Structure 1
Amino acid sequence: MLIDKAIQFAAVAHEGQYRKGTMIPYIIHPVSVGFLLQKIGCEEEVIAAGILHDTVEDTDIELEDIKREFGERVALLVLSVSEPDKTLPWEERKAHTIESLQKAGEDTIIITLADKTHNLRTLLLDLQEQGEAVWEKFKRGKEKQSWYHHSIYESTANMEQSPKISQLRSDYKKLIDAIFN
C-alpha cells in the first residue's frame, strides 16, 4: 500500500516532466528505481523513498509533504539522496553527493546506487540507438559523466558490503565499464 501511494504521489508530482532529451515520461525513472529496490528485497519504506527520491529535488514538493504523507523515515531517506542546493554548479553538487556517500547509511547508498544504475541502463540503451550523439543532451559531456559515475562507485567501496550493496555495485560497475571504458 505504501508503494502504491508513493507511485501515485510521484506520478502527480512529476506530471508533465520527461527524461532528458526524450518524450519518455519522467515517472518511468522513479518507478524503475522502486522496482530495482523491490527486486533486491528492500523494505517498503526504502522502496517508497526510492520512488520519491527526485520529488523534493525536481518538483514543487517539499520535504514536509513527504514527511506528512509517508512518515519520518521515508522523508529522511529522500532528504539523504537529494542535492541540497540545485543553484550550485553541477561539479559542486556532484562532489557533495560523492562525499556524502562516504559516510552515508546503507539505505541511502542502496537508493543512490539503484538510481544511478537505472540512469546508466537508460543511457546505455540511448547510446546503442544514437551513438556518441547521446552526449549532446548533457551539459557536461562524456568525460564529466565518466568522472561522476566512477566516483560514485569508488565512494561506496570502503564500507562493509551488504548483499544488496554488493549486487547493486556489481550491476553499476558493469554499466560503467560498458559505457565509459
Structure 2
Amino acid sequence: MKSVFRTTQTIQTIKILALSTVSSLFLTLETAAATYGWQPESLKEISQLQLRVSKKECPIGISQQNLQSGIATHLIKNGIPINKTNKAERNPYIKISINCKTRDPFAFSIMLQVIQEVAVNGKNIEGIIYSHGTYGTSGIPEYSRGEQRLIVTWVLNPFISDWKSVK
C-alpha cells in the first residue's frame, strides 16, 4: 500500500512541477496563440498556385501590399510554385486572411486556405481544400512587431511542410 501511495504522490508532484514550469513559461510570453489545420493530402495534385492576401479588418502591423510581396517571396524561396500573374483565374489559390479586434484585449486570427474550383451537382463552386491558421491575443505593440514572425512560423511554414510532405 505504501509504495502505491508514494508512486501516486510522486506522479502528482511531477505534474505540479511540470505545470508550474509551463505556467511560468506562458506568463513570460507576450503573445498567446493556438493553431489548427487539415487536409495536406488535398495538395497532392496541385501544380501551381496564385496568392491573395486580405488584411481589410486589421490596421495594425504590416500593410497588405507588403505582406503580399513578403509572403510570395517566402513561399517561392521554399519551393511553392506561385503564379505571380493573375491571367489564370481558374488556378487554385492560397488565400491568407488576417483579422483583428483592436479594442482591449487585442485579438487576432491568421488563416491560410487553399481554394479551388470544384464541381458540385453540375455547378462549379469554390471549395476550401486545405486550411491552416492561428489565432490568439497579444498586446498591440507586441503583435505589430511580431506579425511577420507569427505568419511565417505559425501559418506559412506548416503549409510549406504539408506541401512538401505530399510532393
Instruction: Give the TM-score normalised by the residue count of structure 1.
Output: 0.25
- Structure 1 or 2: larger strand share? 2
Instruction: Give the TM-score normalised by the residue count of structure 2.
Output: 0.27
Greater RCO structure (CA 8 Å; 6+ sep): 2
Larger Rg: 2
